[in-house]
Structure 1
Amino acid sequence: MTEQQLFSLSRYPETLAVVRLAPGAEIPTWAESSSVFSITATATETSLVCAGRSVPKKARHQKPFTAFCVDGTLALDQVGVLLALLGPLAEAEISAFTLSTFDTDWILVPTAKADRAEEAWRRSGHTVAPAVPV
């Protein structure tokens, strides 16, 4: 068994939404970027993560989410990152929506449970701090 990996995370202040669009949908003009803006398209759907403030009520979406980013650059072959971070959330019964970029991983949690997520990570030895604007 390998030693537990510990990570530093940054908490972003924006309220985010996860939006489901039809397959092949154009990105709507209301989809505003934020600390994280993601488009994932498959044969069966197009999903957006975007600022929650402008998402129309009629759009199929869930919000509000708070984003946490793993600080630094993670190697693409690094094993166990999400396991180390999602395990404490599962134990605290906090759902998560994850995204990965070339450099790092993002974890979105329901905003009402963001403080509890921080506590769960700290109890597990991880550190969490407010994001520093770039």
Structure 2
Amino acid sequence: MTISLLILPDEFGLYQFHRDYRFSTEWLNELPWYTLSKTSGEVSLLCPAQYHSTTTDPSLATAAKKNELGWRCFQVDAQMDFSLIGILASIIDPLRDNKIPVFVVSTFDTDYILVKEDMLEKAMGVLNRQQGIVIRPGSSVVL
């Protein structure tokens, strides 16, 4: 089985907010791509980094407890059936073995594996050497 990964050209930012932080629905709807997670201790937002200090009120840069810019994203280029086993591990394990930290987001359809910009070239080299993994350029998530 071949795993096709798309390397997205966009830079992403990861933001942590207090658990009770309230986003403007109007503002979230303006984002072209985001993932939002809420747990008992925090709210995390991943979105294109160009929205870091936009005209939102307040901006992500000031509203977040923590933020980390400079993430780049590999998208699994397939709809992932829940019965498939080991796809994500076959991508993450070689990165782990080469001491490349990752941040992973899964959706109903697919997975996104993010690495820091300064590790992108190394990550691409590691993944390109893996039998059964192919990396191709992807499209921007910013419309």
Task: Give the match for residue 19 of structure 1.
Answer: 15
1:52 aligns with 49
Alignment of 1:38 with 2:47, yes or no, is no
Equivalent positions of 1:1-134 (< 5 A) are 6-27=2-23, 29=27, 33-34=31-32, 36-55=33-52, 56-58=60-62, 59=64, 60-125=66-131, 126-132=133-139
Amino acid at match of 1:7: I
RMSD: 2.2
Q: Which amino acid aligns with 1:122?
A: N
The Cα offsets for residues 48-103 of structure 1, whole Å up to 9 and x where unpaired, read as 00111232544311111001100111111211112100011012211000000111
Instruction: Choose between structure 1 and 2 for higher RCO, CA contacts under 8 A separated by at least 6 residues.
Output: 2
Unpaired runs of at least 5, structure 2: 53-59
> What residue ranges of structure 1 are gaps of 5+ in the alignment?
none
The two structures have a TM-score, normalised by structure 2, of: 0.80
Partners of 2:35 and 2:61 in 1: how far apart?
20
Higher helix share: 2
Structure 1 residues 132 and 75, CA gap change in structure 2 (3 angstroms): same
TM-score, length-scaled by structure 1? 0.85
Structure 1 segments of 4 or more deviating over 6 A? Answer: none
